[in-house]
Amino acid sequence: MCGIIGIIGKGNENVVGKIIHGLEKLEYRGYDSAGIAVVCDGKLSRLRAAGKLRNLIAKIESNKLSGTVGIGHTRWATHGKATENNAHPMMTKDVALVHNGIIENYRELKFELQKDGYVFSTETDTEVVAVFLQREIDKGNSPREAFKNALSAIEGSYAFAAIFSMLPETIMVAKNRSPLVVGFGSNMCIASDASAISAECKEVVYLNDGDYAEITENNASFFDKNFQPVMRKRFTVSEDSIDSGKGEYAHFMLKEIMEQPSAIRKTILHNRINADILNGVSRILILACGTSYHAGLVARYWFEKFLRIPTNVEIASEYRYRSPIIEDNTLVFAITQSGETIDTLEALEYVRKHSNAKVAAIANVKNSAISRAADMIFYTEAGVEVGVASTKAFTAQLVVLAAVAFCKSEFFLQELQNVPTACEEALRLFENIKPVAERIKEARSAIYLGRDLLYPIALEGALKLKEISYIHAEGFAAGEMKHGPIALIDDNVPVICLCPHNELFEKTASNIAVALARGKNVIVFTDAEGSKLLPDEVTKIILPNICSEFVPILYSVPLQLLAYYTALIRGEDVDKPRNLAKSVTVE
């Protein structure tokens, strides 16, 4: 969701350039608008712009904004349209404030402040906090008291950073259920994540929920939810959390797709799972959202077939509402690339409240919130994933889950080692996939079909296509097509089938024949043997042979390329698709 940053300059240093650099790193969290506020000589100034960060940068260049202490924001709109007027920072006479999260009781607070004569000029929930702080200052309270009173009145999720005209050397921050770090280095900084300030800070403190902190040029003071001073542990910023740019690639997504063989190799190397984690486990529960949920769906096949442990996979955003029962001896896996998806964290909180189940997290971002919420953490070693559409983190999640499923089988662990090379071969097929992208680029809708382990990959392929190309796409279990979705098929609806030559080949091949009888645009991802047996009328993309348990990892790769090239041909912003954000920290 939104990204926030704050930097304190050394002496008279102008921090605007550094804030912009940080916002560039945070833009993956939202790009509906961006803004910056600085304090200089006791005076607050701000600039904001609707749309991507480049619009703000253009404004800053023509307006010469300068300040020694500043805060910045990149927005993913929740309350209020994506206009300049609703862009953060919110500013009153004496306060400028940026926020990530949702203030749930903003209507009551707004009403109360309006009764006191305060006027609002935006549609956002955040403005109530800035106005609340202003009212406290007007009452004669210090900025710290103002913050304390505001925090006890506010309900919801937040990471705030505020600057005050009367306290020009300080940034005040608070956090509850939205991520916030305080960085120590050549500058004192705050940010939604460590990567945004990694150029300035080699050490960070991750604030706890309810924490409040005051940051000055050389120091930071931390207070807990009772406003008692506390010490918080400093962590070294991991090299892995620093993104190294797009390199030779046009987009982060393409770079990340291409990085998969090495990401998979590294993830295998770092995830030798000890079979002890399964001792006494009689059920597995997997909680995740979006692409991570699809990884969980694949794992269910592996866990049930090879570990013989009944496994449930739950959409984290739904899980807690139906008051689910968690049996004794359940092992829970929370899967999340970012490690900060609030739906997954909340589902985990439900597990904590209602059971003694052990929780294992699978995350890509080191030291993210999930690492503190879980009993054990397994990291996917995919490196920073910037593209909003998850690619290498997904296949790396599958690798960790495979390492769990096959932790007792040297044979399969050995076979897993062959996956990166097979993925390398699949990546070389990009020239074959471009013409397929040409063929589906005008489609109003696309259908993805897969059976067994490839059913979740059909779901994932469809998600990739719709996320970045905006073509409506749905994945179905191949055998389910005849129970309804078949009505959608005509010559303008491509049917994309996943059909390796395995024990289910004949069944999926029949589904392909049925699709072909109703539409002319049938594309099949298969292997050499399958290709020989499938009709000539279908377009075939031939993938390497691989141990049949690991086809979900391999078959994900060409589907990512297909989504990428389709979006590219349609002229869409591949790395920053409309309405989305990489990290979803609101419910």
Which residues are known catalytic residues?
2, 582
| Region from 22-30, 55-63, 290-298, 306-314 binding ligand M6R, contact rule CB under 6 A | 290-298
DSSP label at residue 535: -
Q: Tell whether residue 290 is a contact of ligand M6R (CB under 6 A).
A: yes
SS (H, E, C) 429-492: CHHHHHHHHHHHCCCCEEEEEECHHHHHHHHHHHHHHHHHHCCEEEEEEHHHHHHCHHHHCCCC
295 versus 509: smaller Cβ distance to ligand M6R: 295
* Peptide bond before residue 435 is cis, with ω within 30 degrees of 0: no
Binds ligand M6R by CB under 6 A, chosen from 191, 299, 389, 516: 389
Please give the structure tokens belonging to residue 270: 């770092």
Q: Tell whether residue 384 is a contact of ligand M6R (CB under 6 A).
A: no
Residue 306 CA to residue 348 CA, distance in Å, equals: 26
Of 289, 310, 475, nearest in space to 393 by CA:
289
Report the DSSP pairing between strands 220-223 and 229-230.
antiparallel
Dihedral over Cα of 506, 507, 512, 513: its sign: positive
- The CB-of-318 to ligand M6R minimum distance in angstroms stands at 14
Count of residues binding ligand M6R (CB under 6 A)? Answer: 15
Residue 115 CA to residue 68 CA, distance in Å, equals: 36
- The CB-of-115 to ligand M6R minimum distance in angstroms stands at 39
Please give the structure tokens belonging to residue 522: 């049938």
| φ/ψ of residue 296, rounded to 5 | -60, -40
Burial group, residue 11, by CB count within 10 angstroms (0-12, 13-18, 19+): exposed
Cβ(400)–Cβ(277) below 8 Å: no
- The CB-of-485 to ligand M6R minimum distance in angstroms stands at 22
Positions 109 through 128 that interact with ligand M6R (CB under 6 A): none
- The CB-of-480 to ligand M6R minimum distance in angstroms stands at 22
170 versus 292: smaller Cβ distance to ligand M6R: 292
- The CB-of-345 to ligand M6R minimum distance in angstroms stands at 9
The length of the chain is: 587
Site string for ligand M6R, 463-492 (x = CB under 6 A): ----x-------------------------
547 versus 580: smaller Cβ distance to ligand M6R: 580
Q: Tell whether residue 193 is a contact of ligand M6R (CB under 6 A).
A: no
H or E element that contains 495: strand 495-498
- The CB-of-371 to ligand M6R minimum distance in angstroms stands at 13
Cβ(378)–Cβ(350) below 8 Å: no
Residue 178 CA to residue 207 CA, distance in Å, equals: 10
- The CB-of-334 to ligand M6R minimum distance in angstroms stands at 9
Name the E strands within 177-233. 181-185, 188-191, 201-206, 212-215, 220-223, 229-230
Residue 167 CA to residue 474 CA, distance in Å, equals: 54
Q: Tell whether residue 292 is a contact of ligand M6R (CB under 6 A).
A: yes
18 versus 255: smaller Cβ distance to ligand M6R: 255
How far are the Cα atoms of 42, 289, 359 from residue 350, in angstroms, in the given order? 46, 16, 12
- The CB-of-584 to ligand M6R minimum distance in angstroms stands at 5
Report the DSSP pairing between strands 330-336 and 358-363.
parallel
H or E element that contains 172: strand 167-176
- The CB-of-544 to ligand M6R minimum distance in angstroms stands at 25
| Region from 112-120, 241-249, 385-393, 513-521 binding ligand M6R, contact rule CB under 6 A | 385-393
388 versus 515: smaller Cβ distance to ligand M6R: 388
124 versus 291: smaller Cβ distance to ligand M6R: 291
238 versus 531: smaller Cβ distance to ligand M6R: 238
132 versus 319: smaller Cβ distance to ligand M6R: 319
Residue nearest to ligand M6R (CB): 290
343 versus 527: smaller Cβ distance to ligand M6R: 343
Please give the structure tokens belonging to residue 83: 């206009």
Positions 318 through 347 that interact with ligand M6R (CB under 6 A): 336-338, 341, 344
Binds ligand M6R by CB under 6 A, chosen from 289, 351, 493, 522: 289
- The CB-of-396 to ligand M6R minimum distance in angstroms stands at 11
Residue 546 CA to residue 548 CA, distance in Å, equals: 6
Site string for ligand M6R, 342-371 (x = CB under 6 A): --x---------------------------
Q: How many CB atoms lie within 10 A of CB 117?
A: 8
Q: Tell whether residue 574 is a contact of ligand M6R (CB under 6 A).
A: no
260 versus 292: smaller Cβ distance to ligand M6R: 292
271 CB-side CA count, 13 A: 32
| φ/ψ of residue 525, rounded to 5 | -95, 120
Residue 261 CA to residue 360 CA, distance in Å, equals: 25
Binds ligand M6R by CB under 6 A, chosen from 178, 187, 291, 367: 291
How far from the centroid of its chain's Cα atoms is residue 237's Cα?
A: 19
Site string for ligand M6R, 390-429 (x = CB under 6 A): x---------------------------------------
| Region from 99-107, 284-292, 518-526, 560-568 binding ligand M6R, contact rule CB under 6 A | 284-292
Q: Tell whether residue 567 is a contact of ligand M6R (CB under 6 A).
A: no
Q: Tell whether residue 584 is a contact of ligand M6R (CB under 6 A).
A: yes
146 versus 388: smaller Cβ distance to ligand M6R: 388
Rounded-to-10 torsion of CA 449, 452, 453, 459? 30
Binds ligand M6R by CB under 6 A, chosen from 388, 416, 471, 486: 388
Of 135, 4, 13, 117, nearest in space to 71 by CA:
4
Contacts of 243 (CB under 8 A, 6+ apart): 25, 195, 384, 386
- The CB-of-291 to ligand M6R minimum distance in angstroms stands at 3
Binding site for ligand M6R (CB under 6 A): 289-292, 336-338, 341, 344, 388-390, 467, 580, 584
